[in-house]
Amino acid sequence: MQLTPGAVSLDALARIYFEELAVAVNPAAKPAVDAAVARVAEAAAGSAAVYGVNTGFGKLASVKIAPEDTATLQRNLILSHCSGVGPAIPRRVARLMMALKLASLGRGASGVRWKVIECIEALLAKGVTPVIPAQGSVGASGDLAPLAHMTAVLIGAGEAEFRGRVLPGAEALAEAGIAPVELGPKEGLGLINGTQFSTAFALAGLFEGWRCAEGALVASALSTDAIMGSTAPLEPEIHALRGHRGQLETAAFLRALLDGSEIRESHREGDARVQDPYCIRCQPQVTGAAMDLMRQAAATLEIEANAVTDNPLVISGAIVSGGNFHAEPVAFAADMIALALAEIGAISQRRIALMVDPALSHDLPPFLTPAPGLNSGLMIAEVTSAALMSENKQRANPCSTDSTPTSANQEDHVSMAAHGARRLMDMADNLGRIVGIELICGAQGIAFRAPLETSAPLRAVIARLREEVPPLQEDRYLAPDLEAAAVLIRSGAAAAASGLAVPPLGA
């Protein structure tokens, strides 16, 4: 895939993430890149102190570096900043992070040579993935430690995964036929300043979480029919009077999913219940609002993906220090996504609890088992969903409001975007499992309404589930079933099985 710096779309980023695409920068960006490199070269040869070019870094910015030492300065910067700890980040995220760095460097404001851009492109094309520890960034002055681990491989240091093996960086490059680069003036700083680690994780959480949100709409429709819920709260006029996009689209999608259900038609008249609980009645208002929140975060992250976030920047022929490396927008976006994931899981869990409770489920058997007592059915599956819901609620506490001074108080306010973004993939995993449990419960509940049938779209969803998870007739080892259902949610397969177009993440 070719990236045009400043115009990389959310859809393109999702494809890069899910399909692990190789990417290259549009050659039209090369003149601007070359012009910035020439300006940096002039500064490096001059006598004036220019931060990041011929000075030390951070609190050491006042230390002038001799021209003959600038290459050593950049190499030392990378090696010293390879101070990350913890497990390696997922390969997909590392590759997305490199693609984001390409998009930034290609804007021509970083002073990094085209040769370095081509080296990153080669890593992506040949499947050389730097081993990047997950912990060590506070989301200001850039994601320094993670980006340093990425850059280390470019210079033949660090570690990389290649063809299923973790190798020293130099060996991985040699086996892939890629020559290491020697960093020129400012290039090390240009590579490790920036928000690409935090942004990559936030985007990954967004993309994974959106698939779970789509699955939650399908599972919630199953739940509605399983407990013989009303579709009156889905009437278009109700939602038009409020006007939120997510609410409108969610209600419309649920109406389409439930259209033609014999179960629904069977209780339009004579049902003693006046209103359903909120977890059924308020689905468009809750899930729709969460999806709108994710869209707001997506808009921020799309801008950030196209941004130049290192320091200093080459602008109008001058090299100017600024603060674009501060990841506050990413931190806020990550917090928004976390809130959305927690709330989608919270209302899904309440629907699970509704279905397994005979006092509330409108004549479904306790814990959705044909022989309660001898069998516990989905009793503990519901408990598991509650545990995951609670874990996500705890993780949804904001990270952006936490700051601690670093670098001898030079960096005295930081975003904690890396923390906020890293939690999202785990939260999305939890949400996929919660919604997967709801999928199982909804399908099980609908089976008890036979001979009445649900709608055609929902029958197709159940048929897809039954390819992986058989009906629960008597107690069995459930963990594999729960995981199989979660995979259907997280992969998008459950939503796709309905045959209906799900609400889009973008415009």
Could you give the residue numbers annotated as active site? 51
Contact assessment for residue 506 and residue 206, using Cβ atoms and an 8 Å cutoff: no
Query: Helix crossing, 479-490 with 417-447: angle to 10°?
Result: 110
Query: Nearest-CA neighbor of 143 among 207, 92, 73, 191?
Result: 191
- Strand 2-3 and strand 24-25: pairing? parallel
Which residues, in sequence order, are CB contacts of 68 under 8 Å at separation 6+?
A: none
Closest to 445 measured CA to CA, from 229, 283, 232, 156: 229
- Beta-carbon contacts of 307 under 8 Å, excluding residues fewer than 6 positions away, are 104, 195, 324
CB 461 within 8 A of CB 245: no
Token representation of residue 272:
């003693």
Beta strands in 213-365 (DSSP E): 313-315, 318-320
Name 372's bridge partners: 375
Handedness of CA 58, 64, 70, 73 (dihedral sign): negative
Q: Tally the residues of the chain.
A: 507
Strands 159-162 and 85-88: unpaired
d(C-alpha 288, C-alpha 304), whole Å: 25
Omega before residue 185 within 30° of 0, cis: no
- Residue among 290, 308, 263 nearest 448 (CA): 263
